[in-house]
């Protein structure tokens, strides 16, 4: 979700790669803006539903003004959601991934944590914040991001977003630009979860995501150190029955 409405990137912008059980998207955060979604979220919610909102800056917001976009989103959604995901890793908004650099991420998270503390004191809200990281970070870049996350007292990470790397793909649309998701990410993203778990001594909750296509993939992600597992592309190729299959197996 972005503060203001935006159309996203030109169509076509979503491609199935069935031979690889993968997708490529370059959506670019299309949406009707924060106030539209907030109005929807103020309605009744099913009992027991855990609701998170994924935050990103508008494409037309300069990078040096991005903090204000995230702060405005926190203000809108703090009373309406159970957690916030700070997305600084989408490959489809120009420059966004630069916010994962140590100084930029430290500054962004410090501002968000300070605003969260003010809301906690004034409105008695407890709002977990998670940071969604890129699978394309180098070892040093991952260290920098984790240091900022731990220093600022953020509640967890989502590992990881879509990738710009391609590897060996067989499908017709393999050369399309955008973020790759699905089965080709499984090994790399699971290894990233294990590495984050190791580097943080298991102190940082991790939402493992990327290439979880069946129950065995979910089990492997949990064994690597994930606290929770998220699925996306697996739902496209298997359908919602995938959730029951995973839960039954576990």
DSSP letters along 40-108, please? HHTS---TT---EEEE---TTS-GGGHHHHHHHHHHHHTTT-SEEEEE---TTSTTGGGGGSHHHHHHH
Q: Give Cα separations from 89 to 56, 86, 177, 183, 241 (angstroms).
A: 9, 9, 16, 19, 29
Beta bridge partners of 25: 14, 179
**Active site includes 89?**
no
Give the contacts of 110 (CB within 8 A, at least 6 positions apart).
Answer: 152
Cα(78)–Cα(54) distance, integer angstroms: 12
Burial of 89 (0-12, 13-18, 19+ CB in 10 A): buried
Cα(78)–Cα(58) distance, integer angstroms: 19
The kind and range of the H/E element at 175 are none
How many other C-beta atoms are found inside a 10 Å radius of the C-beta of residue 103?
9
Q: Given 89, 90, 134, 181, which residue is catalytic?
A: 90
| Catalytic positions, written as ranges | 90
């Amino acid at each position: 979700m972005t503060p203001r409405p935006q159309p996203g990137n030109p169509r076509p912008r979503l491609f199935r790669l069935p031979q690889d059980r993968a997708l490529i998207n370059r959506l670019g955060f299309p949406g009707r803006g924060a106030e539209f979604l907030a109005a929807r979220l103020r309605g009744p919610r099913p009992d027991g539903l855990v609701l998170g909102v994924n935050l990103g800056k508008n494409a037309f917001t300069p990078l040096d003004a991005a903090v204000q976009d995230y702060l405005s989103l926190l203000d809108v959604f703090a009373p309406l959601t159970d957690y916030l995901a700070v997305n600084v890793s989408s490959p489809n908004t120009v420059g966004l991934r630069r916010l994962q650099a140590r100084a930029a991420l430290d500054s962004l998270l410090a501002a968000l944590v300070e605003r969260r503390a003010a809301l906690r004191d004034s409105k008695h809200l407890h709002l977990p914040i998670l940071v969604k990281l890129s699978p394309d970070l180098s070892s040093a870049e991952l260290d920098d991001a984790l240091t900022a996350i731990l220093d600022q007292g953020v509640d967890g990470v989502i590992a990881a977003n879509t990738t710009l790397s391609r590897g060996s793909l067989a499908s017709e649309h393999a050369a399309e630009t955008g973020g790759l998701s699905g089965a080709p990410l499984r090994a790399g993203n699971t290894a990233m979860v294990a590495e984050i778990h190791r580097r943080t001594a298991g102190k940082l909750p991790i939402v493992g995501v990327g290439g979880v296509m069946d129950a065995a993939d979910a089990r492997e992600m949990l064994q690597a150190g994930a606290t929770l597992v998220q699925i996306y592309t697996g739902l496209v190729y298997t359908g919602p029955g995938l959730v029951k299959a995973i839960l039954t197996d576990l």
